[in-house]
Structure 1
Amino acid sequence: MIYKGSCHCGKVAFELEGDIEGAVACNCSICSRKGSLLWFLPREKLTLLTPEDAASTYTFNKHVIQHRFCPTCGIHPYAEGVDPKGRNMAAINLRCVEGLDLTSIPVTEFDGRSI
């Protein structure tokens, strides 16, 4: 299935391809503040509809995840990184995807604070 999403102002927009079967709620210092519900997919399944430089990047701790956010409205629609198997991945904030009923998506809690 193809989904569309964006930040609040639309300066950062994207399409996703895949089946959303669940989400992750992480309690690390950044995710808990953002309130993200994350869905992970291969980076090649994320297509930016706006220029890549429309989003700013924030990294912290080990600097392995590029947290992407809109410098205009401040919303964090996705992040990019490499999984333990060396694959390029995207973590999509499902709260930024159009037309989802978030109450119907099972959520798994992840203890990111312990990492």
Structure 2
Amino acid sequence: MLILHCPCCGIDADETELTPGGTAHLKREGPGSSDEAFERYLFLRENPRGVHFERWRHAHGCGKWFHAARCTMTLEVFGTYSAQTHAPPREILDRIAERRPQERREVA
């Protein structure tokens, strides 16, 4: 079972209390964008196995959004942080590099 620490309220919540929100730190395309840019955003994004930065909402708790860094293959969680952060904190990136030296994952 996936358990994430909500940085907003300090609770360790299991996946039944959370709602996924997709990729974090992604430039979302919408009205006013070109057809090519919207197609790239909607259909042509990479989805590799491994570490991802994701958005989560503590739906059955404080109700706030936060970001999490986790491995999609093993469900290993490297850390969670505020949704108002524009890039993953250095300590989380260092933790990923320490545990997964072979994986060079950049933020989108």
Q: TM-score normalized by structure 1?
A: 0.29
> In terms of Rg, which structure is larger?
2
Higher share of residues assigned strand: 1
**Higher RCO, Cα 8 Å, sep 6+:** 1
